């Protein structure tokens, strides 16, 4: 009975995902166009389709990272940006923009996407170093907050040095799906498959941690090593998504909550549904961003912030201060 329920929900989420991707392919700045014979194939297959697929994969990566963060730290308000990855990614982009005029070959090879990815990994590694390891979840979270503040100050310094770059950095901070290409889609698809497979294999450690640290250790699982692997997956998924779309708020935080009631408390199911939920949320937001004030597009991060913020306000309103519904 439970398997049938799971398969039904999974089929529904996959069908909704395919519907939204199809909708994103036929939906342009002037509205829907069902007459494909009068539409340039390059617009459909080189612009709209990779943008829709890329938005879905980026949302799926953030949803997976959010599900891992909330389960790993046993905190329903944890999101993928907790460990300094967001500030690190922004620092990487700001650094490339700030010093790109020097004409360095290695800076040109890295590019903005590479800079964002390296910055996100640097933020997570700095948080691990400051926390003295990964044994204490609370200390790691606090270290992530400290590193985010420090890297945020560094970003402000770059803006002060090069005020002409403020608009470019601001665009990255608000999130952007308009520049997604097939190469970005391929990178995110590979990262998603890799991160999801590894996470599903070691998902029992998340089930064990949900029972408490001491109880989990009595089960004989190598918690410290598996926790480090999960942190690495969290950084990889977040870094890949941020490198392609910029800082998109609330997707990693809200997606696991949206699908939690479907999982029945099983971490493996929760992670799969968080992926699909994140992809659906970001792709829906992207469709709204490109059509709400068409032909003018608004940053997709603004839409996710409004939708995610409203959902969380409703969720908090339904929940008492003691955490009971």
**Per-residue pLDDT tens digits for 294-319:** 778 888 988 998 887 787 788 777 76
Model pTM score: 0.86
Radius of gyration of the chain from its Cα atoms, rounded to whole angstroms: 20
Position 321 scores a pLDDT of 44
Q: Supply the DSSP symbol for 180.
A: -
- CB distance 36 to 56 below 8 Å: no
How confident is the model at residue 27, as a pLDDT? 77
Q: What is the pLDDT of residues 110-167, one digit of tens each?
A: 676 777 778 888 888 888 888 887 667 778 888 888 998 898 888 888 778 777 777 7
Cβ burial 21-46 (10 Å sphere, 16+ → b, else e): beebbbbbeeeeeeeeeeeeeeeeee
154-178 burial by CB neighbour count: b if 16+ within 10 A, else e? ebeebbeebeebeeebebbbbbbbe
pLDDT for 78-115, tens place per residue? 888 888 888 888 888 787 777 765 555 555 556 767 77
pLDDT number for residue 216: 64
Q: Give the C-alpha separation, 179 to 74, whole Å.
A: 35
- Count CB neighbours of 299 within 10 A: 20
Q: Could you tell me the two tokens for 237?
A: 């998924």
Can you give the pLDDT at residue 279? 94
Going by pLDDT thresholds of 50, 70 and 90, the confidence category of residue 60 is: very high
CB atoms within 10 A of CB 207: 17
d(CA 57, CA 51): 10
* Selection from 67, 50, 46, 62 nearest residue 279 by Cα: 62
Alpha-carbon span 8 to 270, nearest angstrom: 14
Residues 162-189 have a mean pLDDT of: 84
Sign of CA dihedral 159, 54, 312, 204: negative
Average pLDDT over residues 71-81: 80
* Contact call for residues 221 and 205 (beta carbons, < 8 A): yes
Given a contact cutoff of 8 angstroms between Cβ atoms, the answer to whether 118 and 152 are in contact is no
pLDDT of residue 118: 83
Spatial contact of 241 and 62, defined as CB atoms under 8 Å apart? yes
Q: Quick: pLDDT tens for 209-260.
A: 766 666 666 766 677 778 788 888 888 888 888 888 888 888 988 888 888 8
CA distance 124 to 92: 13
Residues 6 or more apart whose Cβ sits within 8 Å of residue 232: none
Average pLDDT over residues 279-293: 90
Q: Is the pLDDT of residue 184 over 50?
A: yes
What local confidence, expressed as pLDDT, does residue 322 receive?
47
Average per-residue pLDDT for the chain: 81
Report how far residue 325's alpha carbon sits from residue 317's, in angstroms, rounded to the nearest whole number: 9
3-class secondary structure, 168? helix
Report pLDDT for 325: 45
* Contacts for 228 with CB less than 8 Å, ≥ 6 apart: 134
Domains and CATH numbers, the chain: 2-318 (1.10.3470.10)
Confidence (pLDDT) at 33:
57
């Amino acid at each position: 009975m439970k398997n049938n329920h799971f398969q039904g929900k999974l089929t529904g989420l996959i069908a909704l995902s395919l519907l939204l991707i199809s909708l994103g392919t036929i939906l342009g700045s002037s509205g829907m166009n069902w007459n494909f014979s009068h539409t340039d194939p390059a617009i459909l297959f080189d612009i709209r389709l990779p943008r829709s697929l890329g938005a879905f994969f980026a949302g799926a990566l953030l949803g997976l990272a959010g599900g891992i963060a909330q389960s790993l730290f046993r905190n329903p308000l944890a999101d993928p940006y907790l460990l300094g990855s967001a500030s690190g990614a922004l620092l990487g982009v700001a650094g490339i923009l700030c010093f790109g005029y020097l004409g360095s070959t290695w800076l040109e090879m890295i590019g903005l996407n590479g800079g964002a990815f390296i910055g996100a990994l640097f933020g997570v590694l700095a948080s691990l170093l400051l926390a003295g390891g990964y044994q204490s979840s609370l200390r790691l979270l606090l270290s992530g907050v400290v590193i985010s503040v420090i890297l945020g100050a560094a970003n402000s310094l770059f803006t002060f040095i090069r005020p002409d770059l403020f608009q470019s950095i601001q665009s990255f901070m608000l999130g952007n799906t308009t520049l997604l290409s097939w190469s970005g889609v391929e990178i995110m698809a590979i990262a998603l498959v890799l991160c999801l497979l590894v996470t599903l294999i070691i998902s029992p450690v998340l089930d064990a941690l949900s029972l408490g640290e001491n109880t989990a250790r009595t089960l004989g699982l190598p918690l410290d090593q598996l926790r480090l692997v999960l942190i690495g997956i969290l950084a990889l998924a977040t870094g890949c998504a941020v490198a392609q779309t910029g800082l998109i708020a609330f997707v990693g935080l809200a997606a696991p909550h949206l699908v939690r009631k479907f999982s029945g408390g099983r971490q493996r199911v929760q992670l799969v549904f968080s992926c699909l939920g994140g992809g659906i949320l970001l792709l829906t937001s992207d469709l709204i961003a490109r059509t709400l004030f068409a032909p003018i597009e608004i940053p997709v991060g603004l839409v996710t912030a409004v939708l995610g913020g409203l959902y969380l306000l409703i969720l908090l309103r339904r929940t008492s201060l003691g955490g009971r519904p």
